[in-house]
Amino acid sequence: MTRGSQTREQIEAKALQLFVEQGVAETSVRDIAQAVGIADGALYRHFASKDALVGHLFKANYIRFAEELDRLQAAAPDCHAKLAAMVGGFCRFFDADPVLFRFLLFVQHGQLAKIGAEVSTPVDIVRNVLEAAMTRGEITRRDPALATAWVFGIVLQTATAAVYGRLSPKLTPLRDEIVGAAWRALAGTAIDRA
């Protein structure tokens, strides 16, 4: 690995951390440069602009995570297994790189809008899984967007609680509980009690 690519990686790592800690707008190029230990201008050898850095950080990782989700989902036989695989993917991602997870899932400052409609996002993957399961009758038929929102909500809000220390810092031990909650939410008739 060359000196240059080492610097680039450090920029990415420190930028990610600062973006998550303080927000993107609140983090200056100088903040990043100082964290890395380089001069302000040096950052522009590696990224055309601050926006380009943010975009790169988001786009590449977001799509990669979507692909990982898709791979996990594809390898599972039925809806419940697919759901469990995907939730497990979320949990492992959170535990492995919480900073990146938070950047992608919470800090996305309008970056989502810049992603073309043709690219699959994690939301698309989950939605596709659920939609197919409805078609196959595996889960209650309802608006796929609604079902997707519930799964995402359960996962992301659990992650949020973990971030704020209201829960254990690791998500993987909670995987089965999360899957259970999501599965139950998806089950049931459209409107039921008891």
Partner DNA sequence: GATGAATGAGAATTCATTCAT
Partner DNA sequence: GATGAATGAATTCTCATTCAT
Distance CA 103, CA 17 (A): 8
Name the segment binding a copy of itself (CB under 8 A); options: 61-69, 90-98, 129-137, 159-167. 159-167
CB atoms within 10 A of CB 105: 19
Distance between CA atoms of residues 28 and 40, nearest Å? 10
Torsion of CA 122, 63, 173, 130, to 10 degrees: 20
Nearer to DNA, 57 or 147 (CB): 57
Minimum CB–partner distance for residue 15 and a copy of itself (Å): 16
Contact residues for 125 (Cβ-Cβ < 8 A; gap 6+): 66, 69, 70, 73, 86
Can residue 158 be called a binding residue for a copy of itself (CB under 8 A)? yes
Quick one: 39 or 119, whose CB is closer to DNA? 39
Which does residue 191 bind out of DNA, a copy of itself, none, counting CB within 5 to 8 angstroms by kind?
a copy of itself
Q: Where are the beta strands (DSSP E) in the chain?
A: none
Q: Which of residues 56-115 bind a copy of itself (CB under 8 A)?
A: 80, 109-110
- Nearest approach, Cβ of 22 to a copy of itself (angstroms)? 8
* Backbone φ/ψ region at 137: left (φ over 0), alpha (ψ -120 to 50), beta: left
Question: Rule CB under 8 A: which of 131-150 touch a copy of itself?
Answer: 142-143, 145-146, 148-150
Query: Binding segment for a copy of itself among 11-19, 66-74, 91-99, 173-181 (CB under 8 A)?
Result: 173-181
Reported as half-sphere exposure (CB side, CA atoms, 13 A), residue 190 has a value of 6
Asked whether position 44 contacts a copy of itself by CB under 8 A, the answer is no
Cβ distance 96 to 187 under 8 Å? no
Interface ranges with a copy of itself (CB under 8 A): 23, 25-26, 80, 109-110, 142-143, 145-146, 148-150, 152-158, 160-161, 166-167, 174, 176-177, 180-194
